[in-house]
Amino acid sequence: MRPQLPLALAAALVTSAAAFAAPTLPGPAFPNFADAKAVDTACQSGLDGAAKRVKALEKHAPDAKWPAASDALNAYIEDVSNPIDLLVYVHPDKAIRDAAQACVLKWQDFTSTLGQNETLYKAAAKVKPRNDIDREFMRVTLDQFEDAGVSLPADKRARAKQIIDRVTELDQQFNKNIRDTNTKVPFTAEELKGVPENVWKDKPRDDAGHYLLGLDYPTYLPVLDRADNAASRERIYRAKLSEGGEGNLKLLNEIVQLRREYAGLFGMKSYDDFQLRRRMSESTANTLRFLDDVKGAVKEGEAKDLAELREAKAKHLGTPLEQTKLERWDWSYYTERVRQAKYAVDQDAFRQYFPPQESLQFIMKVAQDMLGIQYTRVPAKLWHEDVQAYAVSDAKSGKPLATLLVDMYPRDGKYNHAAVWSYRNGSTLTNRVPQAAYVINMDRKGLSLSELETMLHEMGHALHNNLSATRYAAQAGTSVKRDFVEAPSQMLEDWVYDKKVLKLFQTVCANCKPVPDELVDKAIAARDFGKGARFARQHLYASYDLALHSADAPEAMATWAKMEGATPLGHVQGTMFPAGFSHVTGGYGAGYYGYLYSLVVAMDLRTAFEANHLDPVVGARYRKEVLSQGGQKPPKELVKNFLGRETNSKAFYDYLKK
């Protein structure tokens, strides 16, 4: 049964807009499937409905109403396919996950065929846009048709479709292998010395009495951060870095080769070139130059950080410095140790102040105060009893705006990172309300400050979906350029380091002990420690992704071993990070650099909130000029409209060099 929300919480949430608060969830209910058969049936009925609508659109004249008609088709496809796609990652029943996965492949076949529909492409080319929004809509629509291969000669077009479909299938398999890995690493209590007991005490044990630890973040990270025994850290590190296994390396290689071939069909040398010409960064050359600049800015900091950690290790173990080698599995452990020694801050010390449910209410409260909205919890039957549903409404008018579903805790077979699925995009033209699913994996016993930061990050994506007010669904919310999409979420990460913001915790949980100012001060002081090494790692991931998708399309594992091997900590023989790097097999292929690229914009956006992170006036402007606009204007224009000036990278490089 669903646990009832304590009254105190509900009361704190429903404030001035109580009289208007939506009693139901805006938009259609999320589908509940009784079994795999029901998924198959819904899948087929959705495909049939979409086929009928494509025929109707083919008969539509290429007039001023064509964009709306095309968007209606896209919206229909979203509604019948996206919820099923989400269930692949979150449904507790494996049979349903598998049926959903089979359905995703059928939709892939459908959409790649649709992308090459010549009748629709020719109609789209004839449409005369009436205004800037329609012009941007048609520009992107034509780009998408062309990128799907519609204007290629017949043989190449057929090959393009084969490749797109195959890559989706391989990506699905890649993710499935990670979800189904389910490795358990056995440890004795002695081997877990240093790791907080509540992480492992209740875990299942094998016949020999060993505790069996999984690789979910609430288990994996504390062992890596805290286990005093280096061999224990090494074991769990190696297990984590083997997720997906050899099989996934094969899949990744095939994907990389196929993508290069795909770019070749369009006369392009590399998949990087094919993708980056459509991005905010505009080209491979610009992107590589950007990454070089980042490297230059963090190189010194990285060397300094690693030297400090190595010294700490030598001191801790009493070994001579020159004979002490810092290993990959030492990095987090000594970072935590030095952070504690230097700043006396312990991330675990925050857990008692941030219970998970109240943490969710807290980040909602931040969004409410900043952006003038209201969250109301609504009972709903969803894919798991832990999943919560919220109606989002405008605080002033009470107008229902969106639905947010929240799936907070880890379980076997569930997606193991943190992500938001924008499974329904809004449109003002049709009063279509947006809906998103917020999927994270938090510790039921409470959050660290950095986990609270993750929650805010994901909330940034959810808000981007929920507060979108674009004319067309295809331009809504997170449908922006891939190297801009992380900016709204990264901007918000900063808010947890503001004591004034953290004070809001008591407004949602009167019984929670306030986090002491002194503890936050220490966390603020410690925040940038290890920044050089952290950014260097992100830089490595971004460069690796671009190398994989370069003209050479090199072998995945050998390239990783070489690139990681060239870093100060070197490569750990036997580990296979690429086998678990699901970003690159999915939408972040030739796009991982977007995390760094978006951060430049995020830091620039933050400058407007410098005086007050919760400023409702700045927040309202941000909601209006950035969040509500989705992709109907280019990102540079959105940022300019919000900041009142051209965007620049000053805040970012000032921070890196600090």
List residues binding Zn ion (CB under 5 A). Answer: 486, 489
- The residue written with tokens 């023989």 in the block is 573
Nearer to Zn ion, 232 or 489 (CB): 489
The SS3 assignment for 491 reads helix
CB-nearer residue toward Zn ion: 489 or 582: 489
Residue closer to Zn ion by CB (options 439, 553) is 439
- Minimum separation from the CB atom of position 427 to Zn ion (A): 24
CB atoms under 10 Å from CB of 547, counted, come to 18
Q: How far is the CB of 490 from Zn ion (least distance, A)?
A: 7
CB 436, min distance to Zn ion, A: 13
**517, 521, 526, 532: CA torsion to nearest 10:** 120
SS (H, E, C) 220-237: HHHHHHHCCCHHHHHHHH
Please give the backbone phi and psi of residue 593, each rounded to the nearest 5 degrees, phi first: -55, -20
* Per-residue burial over 450-479, b = 16 or more CB atoms within 10 Å of its CB, e = otherwise: ebbbbbbbbbbbbbbbbbbbbbbbbbbbbb
Which residue in the shown chain puts its C-beta closest to Zn ion? 489
Can you give the three-state secondary structure of 511-548, one letter per residue? CCCCCCHHHHHHHHHHCCCCHHHHHHHHHHHHHHHHHH
136 vs 106: CA distance, rounded Å: 29
State the nearest-atom distance from the C-beta of 457 to Zn ion, in Å. 6
| Residue 460 or 619 having the CB closest to Zn ion | 460
Residue 461 C-beta: closest distance to Zn ion, Å: 6
For residue 396, the 8-state DSSP code is: T
Percentages helix, strand, coil for the chain, rounded to the nearest 5? 60, 5, 35
Q: How far is the CB of 297 from Zn ion (least distance, A)?
A: 22
The two structure tokens encoding residue 219: 């288990």
3-state secondary structure of 329: helix
Instruction: Give which of 553, 552, 551 is closest to 584, Cα–Cα.
Output: 553
Looking at beta carbons only, is 111 or 490 nearer to Zn ion? Answer: 490
Rounded-to-integer distance, Cα 222 and Cα 226, Å: 6
Residue 342 tokens read as: 């230097």
Q: In angstroms, give the least distance from the CB of 567 to Zn ion.
A: 24
- Shortest Å distance, C-beta 598 to Zn ion: 8
**Closer of 82 and 489 to Zn ion (Cβ):** 489
Q: How far is the CB of 180 from Zn ion (least distance, A)?
A: 24
Residue number with CB closer to Zn ion (191 or 451): 451
What amino acid occupies position 57?
Answer: L
Alpha carbons 225 and 330: distance in angstroms, whole number: 8
Asked whether the beta carbons of 393 and 27 are under 8 A apart, the reply is: no
Q: Which is nearer to Zn ion, 237 or 484 (CB)?
A: 484
Closest approach of Zn ion to the CB of residue 21, in Å? 29
Quick one: 73 or 599, whose CB is closer to Zn ion? 599
Question: Closer CB to Zn ion, residue 489 or residue 647?
Answer: 489
